[in-house]
Every structure is written in C-alpha cells, then in structure tokens.
Amino acid sequence: MLPIPQTSARPSSVSLFNRPNIGAIERCPQECSQLLASKCQGSAYDSRRFSMVGLRHVFKPAKHNSTGYYLKNPDNNKDQENYDVIILGGGAAGLMCALTAAGRGRRVLVLEKSNRIGKKILMSGGGRCNFTNYSIEPENFLCANPHFCKSALKRYTQWDFIKLVEEHGIAYKERKHQQLFCKDSAKDILAMLQHECDGCGVRIMNQIDVSTIQTLALSSNKTSVRYQLDFLKKDKDSAKSYSVHCESLVVATGALSVPTLGGSGMGYDIAQQFSIPLTERRAGLVPFMFTDQFKSVCERLSGISVEVEVSCHSQSFSESMLFTHRGISGPAILQISSYWNPGDTISINLLPTVEASDWLCQSKKTNPKNLLKTVLQKSLGKALISELQQLWWPDEAEKALAEFSDQRLKQLGEQLNRWQLKPSGTEGYRTAEVTLGGVDTDYISSRTMEAKNQAGLFFIGEVLDVSGHLGGYNFQWAWSSGYVAGLEV
C-alpha cells in the first residue's frame, strides 16, 4: 500500500488524497464538491475522514467538469493521488526543484523513469562530479537568448550550492579553471540531494512510464489549471497504473545525451503538446570523429594528450586535446564542439605559447644542424611529430634546419599554430555530455522557468535551450533553474 503523502501547509489547495480502499479523488460536479468541502471545514484535512465519510461515486467522465472533486471508480485498479507539484525526472534539476518546493511545504512527487535517480550525477566528473565552478558567468552558457540564464544564476549562485555542500560536510577540491569536484565521490552529491528530499517529505517513484498528461482547467478563464498524469509503475514482476494530479508540473527530464544514463526526448514532446517551440538540437561537449586518412593518424596516436588552443567561429579554448581511436577528444575539443556545425573547420594551435614561425627561424640560427623533428619533439613529443612529419614535410625529413628557407619555416610554423582540421562528425548523443538547443526560452519566464503560455507548467535543466561550457556549468544551471522553479511551484 502506498504511504499517504503529507499534507501541505498551503491553504488554498483543497487537499484530497485517496485511500486505496475508497478509490481515487478527482474533480467532480458541484454538489459533490460542496459536500466534501463542508465535511472538511474547520479541521485540518486528514484523508481518513473521507474513508469515514465513506464517499463513493461512479465515474461518469462525460458529466464531470472542473468545478469539484469526486472519487473515481474504486474498481478501476488505479491509484490516484493529488500533489501540489509533480516533477518529471529525478536528475540534478528535478531533485533541486523538489527539495526547494518541499522545503516550502509543498507536497512533491518526483517521477523517474530509470531504476534509480541521479544517474548522470553519479557518472559525472569521472565519478567525482564537477558540481560547480568558482566563476560562473552568463558567457559560460550557450542559448539563443544570451540573457535568459542571468536571472536564475543570480538567484541561486555557485556560492549557494557550495554552502549546501559544506553544510553536508562533503569534502571538495578545486581543480584547474576553478572547477569544483568532490574529493571522494559523486555519490556524496546525490546522497545530499536525496537526504534533503527525504527530510522534507518528497516522494520519489522510480521505474515509471508516463503515458498521458492532461490539463484540467480550474477556472473559466483557464489561468488556474491542474494537471493529470497517467503512468505505469513497473516492479520486478508486475506493473501498476496510477493517475495523479498536481497544480504545478515541472519537466526536468533532461535531454538526449547518453540514453543509457536517462537521456530522453520526453521533455520536448511535452513542450510540443503545449505548443511551446523547440530550437534545433544537436550533441554538445562531444568528441570529434574523422573518416578520412586522418582517422588512422588518430588511431596511431590514440591515448596521447597535448596542450592546445582550439578555435572555431571566434571561440577559443586552451586546454588539453586527446587523440582517440575515432578522432580527437579531451576538454579543448569537447568545449569547441559546442560551437561547431557540420562542415566547419576547426583550427588547432599546437604551440599556443609560441609564435612558431619566429621560433623556427630562430632555431635555424641557433641549431642549424638539427632536424626539424628534433626541435619540435621537445615540445610536442616523438609520436605526434613523427605523424606530423609524414603529413607536412615527408620529403624534408632528413634535411637540417639550415637547409630550410625562412619562408618554408614560416609556412610550417603557420601550420603548427593554425592546424586546420575538418571533422567528419561528432560521436553524437551516445557520448555527448550535453544536448545543445531544446525548449525555446522565448516561451519560458527567465525568473521562474514557467511556460509563458501555460500556467503551472515549468521546464528546468538541460531540457531547455541552455547549455553550459565544460567545468561544472551544466550542473550549476540545473541547480539554479531547479531552485527558482522550486520557489514558484
């Protein structure tokens, strides 16, 4: 039997919970509503009163409207409950929203399709969760509207999350680029969120499969609506149907990246159901692949990492680049992939701290007998230089530097500083850390995350057209957007 949820402090909602033995409660014709209201008057609502009252009705959908509550046919084997807030998706944003809303006294239900919540949190940051960054700026986020993220990031900052982490005694450390990671395990962050949710009575149901979402207007002008969600909860050997109601529905289903960690397009379907447009979506923070002859170069160099500056569309990132069996990856490449479109060329500076043309001409003077590869190997390593030699100066491999013209050295220096590569594609959503694009933020309040055209419907986290750079920005967006929605639902 399901535990009966706690009642909310919110007086305006008529809080009617079913008890499984009397069936579920829904809106019902006026006379019924008045009867229930009068029975409740003057006393704190207790669902047991209804079993004592013993109200039973036969479900007559055609006659029912939005003016009252009724008990649904108890024989239909569906559990039905009312919540103030239902959050679809128990990831970073959903859990933050849940604990914030429940902390305000709202009755909150989190519906998670996977067998456990927070899978991405557990896998993030190599198991140590890069949960935020000391420096969070709007410039660290990609969105069609560059101003959209500002309000939420201001209302719930990295300092707020750090404080929460500290209150829970979680050890963390700063790595380069001001990124904050758990010292021990990402499990600490998930345990903290779970503990906060437990502490304020959030109910979490895993392994659910939502089939329909409907709106039920509560007032004639439709400014107040109630949502009904029908879903199946799968257990080991069985599945049970539920029908739940809420005043606020929060879509926190994340995005398409890494389906094995819960990536799904459900949030987009919900947006479209409510006529909220989507911006174009594609994989971000994702490795590049090559199908031309450069692929075999990458294969041979697989596992080698080099510090580079990589650029595309006037964006540059100085970080390490890693060769893989399929192409190139590493932080610099993941960052630039968010600015790359199919067909684009990226520019890689293999010697970001050196003007390579000048340096090679100078080396010719100081070490005229050296081979070019001998000079370059010191900075870039033997394996990489051996491959570059095959690509760029195979016929000059045995030439001493003195035999190179200055013009040729300048040309090679230019290649070292601005190596042009055209990836054939990305590894796609299978390995992407984020999905770029999503629910169009023009249709969402930047202060509350509520849909402008649909009262009580909220979108938070990665499902929105907001993606952060690598470095803890995506979790900070999840915390900030989840928090501001949690204050409003």
Which residues sit at the interface with ligand FAD, rule CB under 6 A? Answer: 88-94, 111-114, 117, 119-120, 123-125, 129-130, 210, 252-254, 257-258, 261-262, 264, 266, 433-434, 461-462, 472-475, 478
Q: Identify any residues that bridge with 446 across adjacent strands, giving them in sequence order.
A: none
Q: How far is the CB of 77 from ligand FAD (least distance, A)?
A: 22
Number of other residues whose CB lies within 10 A of the CB of residue 358 = 12
Indicate the residue among 26 and 433 with the shorter CB distance to ligand FAD. 433
| φ/ψ bin of 94: left (φ > 0), alpha (ψ from -120 to 50), beta (otherwise) | alpha
Q: What is the DSSP string of 433-477?
A: SEEE--B-GGGB-TTT-BBTTSTTEEE-GGGBS-EEPTTTHHHHH
- Enter the tokens of residue 189: 């962050």
Rounded to whole angstroms, the Cα distance separating 222 from 224 reads 5
Q: φ and ψ at 475, to 5 degrees?
A: -70, -40
Q: Angle formed by the axes of helices 382-392 and 372-380, to 10°?
A: 130
Q: How far is the CB of 84 from ligand FAD (least distance, A)?
A: 19
Longest dimension (CA), the chain: 101
Query: 118 Cβ partners below 8 Å, 6+ apart?
Result: 90, 91, 92, 95, 189, 190, 193, 194
Indicate the residue among 25 and 129 with the shorter CB distance to ligand FAD. 129
Indicate the residue among 93 and 451 with the shorter CB distance to ligand FAD. 93
Q: How far is the CB of 227 from ligand FAD (least distance, A)?
A: 14
Q: How far is the CB of 445 from ligand FAD (least distance, A)?
A: 17
Q: What is the DSSP letter of 253?
A: -
Q: φ and ψ at 134, to 5 degrees?
A: -60, -25
Q: How far is the CB of 338 from ligand FAD (least distance, A)?
A: 12
Q: How far is the CB of 265 from ligand FAD (least distance, A)?
A: 8
Q: How far is the CB of 319 from ligand FAD (least distance, A)?
A: 15
Rounded to whole angstroms, the Cα distance separating 391 from 371 reads 16
Indicate the residue among 117 and 380 with the shorter CB distance to ligand FAD. 117
**The dihedral of CA 132, 133, 135, 141: what is its sign?**
negative
Indicate the residue among 384 and 478 with the shorter CB distance to ligand FAD. 478
Q: How far is the CB of 53 from ligand FAD (least distance, A)?
A: 34
Q: How far is the CB of 229 from ligand FAD (least distance, A)?
A: 10
Indicate the residue among 7 and 114 with the shorter CB distance to ligand FAD. 114
82, containing H or E segment? strand 79-88
Indicate the residue among 212 and 291 with the shorter CB distance to ligand FAD. 212
SS3 137: coil
How many Cα atoms occupy the beta-carbon half-sphere of 101 within 13 Å?
Answer: 32
Q: How far is the CB of 458 from ligand FAD (least distance, A)?
A: 12
Q: How far is the CB of 118 from ligand FAD (least distance, A)?
A: 7
Indicate the residue among 80 and 480 with the shorter CB distance to ligand FAD. 480
Indicate the residue among 253 and 417 with the shorter CB distance to ligand FAD. 253
Backbone Cα Rg of the chain: 28
398 burial type by CB count under 10 A (0-12 exposed, 13-18 middle, 19+ buried): exposed
Amino acid making up residue 168: H
Indicate the residue among 93 and 371 with the shorter CB distance to ligand FAD. 93
Indicate the residue among 130 and 426 with the shorter CB distance to ligand FAD. 130
Determine the residue with CB nearest ligand FAD.
91
Q: What is the DSSP string of 296-327?
A: HHHHHHTT-EEEEEEEETTEEEEEEEEE-SSE
